[in-house]
Amino acid sequence: MTEINFQIIVLLVVFWSSSIFIGWKFKDTSRSMADFLLGNRKIGFFVFIFATSSILITNINFLSQPNLNLDIGFMGSYLVFVIIIIAIASIFFQKKQWVLGKRFGYITPSEMYGDYFKSKSLQLIIIFIAVLFVIPFAGLQIFLSGQLLSVISNNIINPISSSWIIGSIMCIYIALGGIKSVAYNNAIKFLLIIFGFLILGLISYNLTGGFTSLNINLAKLSSIQETGTDKTLSLFYIPEIIKLNSGFNMDNAEINWTGTLIFTLILSAVGIYTSPAFSMWCFSSENPKPFASQQVWISCFLIGFILVFFVTFFGISGHLLGSNALVNDAGINISKFLSTSINKTLSSTNLLTSYGFAIKETSQWLFAILIIGAFAIFQSTASAFIATTSGILSRDIYKKIINSAATQEKQILITRISVFLIILSSLTLITFFQEIIWILNSFAISLAFQMIIPLIAICYFPWFTKNGIIAGLVGGFIILLLTDPVGHFLLQDILPWGPWPLTIHSSFWAVIFNLTIAITISYTRPNSIDRVHRQKYFDYLEDQAGIPFYNRYLIPAALTMGIIFIFFGFGPGAVIGNELFGSPKDPGTWSFGIPSIWVWQILFWSLFVGLAWFLAYKLGLSTDNENDVVALKDDFGDR
Give 329: exposed, middle or buried? Use CB within 10 Å, 0-12, 13-18, 19+. exposed
CB atoms within 10 A of CB 446: 28
Instruction: Provide, rounded to the nearest whole percent, the portion of the chain with pLDDT above 70.
Output: 97
pLDDT digits over 133-187, tens only?
999 999 999 999 999 999 988 888 999 999 999 999 999 999 999 999 999 999 9
Q: Which residue, among 500, 605, 600, 60, has the nearest Cα to 261 in the 3D structure?
A: 500
Q: Which residue, among 73, 560, 623, 153, has the nearest Cα to 344 in the 3D structure?
A: 73
User: Is 379 part of any domain?
Assistant: yes
The contacts of residue 155 (CB under 8 Å, 6+ apart) are: none
pLDDT digits over 188-225, tens only?
999 999 999 998 888 888 888 888 888 888 888 887 76
| Helix, coil or strand: residue 248 | strand
Asked if 305 and 292 touch (Cβ cutoff 8 Å), the reply is no
For 103-120, letters b (16+ CB in 10 Å) and e give bbbbbbbbbbbbbbbebe
pLDDT digits over 47-100, tens only?
999 999 999 999 999 999 999 999 999 999 999 999 999 999 999 999 999 999
Q: Is the pLDDT of residue 227 over 80?
A: no
Please give the tally of structural domains in the chain.
Answer: 1
CA distance 32 to 222: 62
User: Is 491 part of any domain?
Assistant: yes
pLDDT digits over 525-552, tens only?
998 999 999 999 999 999 999 998 889 9
Q: Which residue, among 536, 625, 586, has the nearest Cα to 98 in the 3D structure?
A: 625
User: Is 235 part of any domain?
Assistant: yes
Query: What average pLDDT does range 262-277 have in this prediction?
Result: 96
| Helix, coil or strand: residue 43 | strand
pLDDT digits over 323-363, tens only?
888 888 888 889 888 888 888 888 899 899 888 887 787 78
Q: What does pTM read for this prediction?
A: 0.95
Q: Is the pLDDT of residue 1 over 50?
A: no
Q: Is the pLDDT of residue 2 over 50?
A: no
Q: Which residue, among 476, 538, 470, 632, has the nearest Cα to 123 in the 3D structure?
A: 470
- The per-residue pLDDT of the chain, averaged, comes to 92
Q: Is the pLDDT of residue 276 over 60?
A: yes
Query: What average pLDDT does range 5-16 have in this prediction?
Result: 86
User: Is 1 part of any domain?
Assistant: no
Domain extent at residue 427:
6-38+46-638
CA distance 238 to 1: 38
Q: Which residue, among 174, 190, 191, 184, has the nearest Cα to 43 in the 3D structure?
A: 184
pLDDT digits over 458-502, tens only?
999 999 999 999 999 999 999 999 999 999 999 877 899 999 999
Asked if 356 and 367 touch (Cβ cutoff 8 Å), the reply is yes
CA distance 102 to 284: 9
CB atoms within 10 A of CB 13: 10
CATH number at residue 210: 1.20.1730.10
User: Is 624 part of any domain?
Assistant: yes
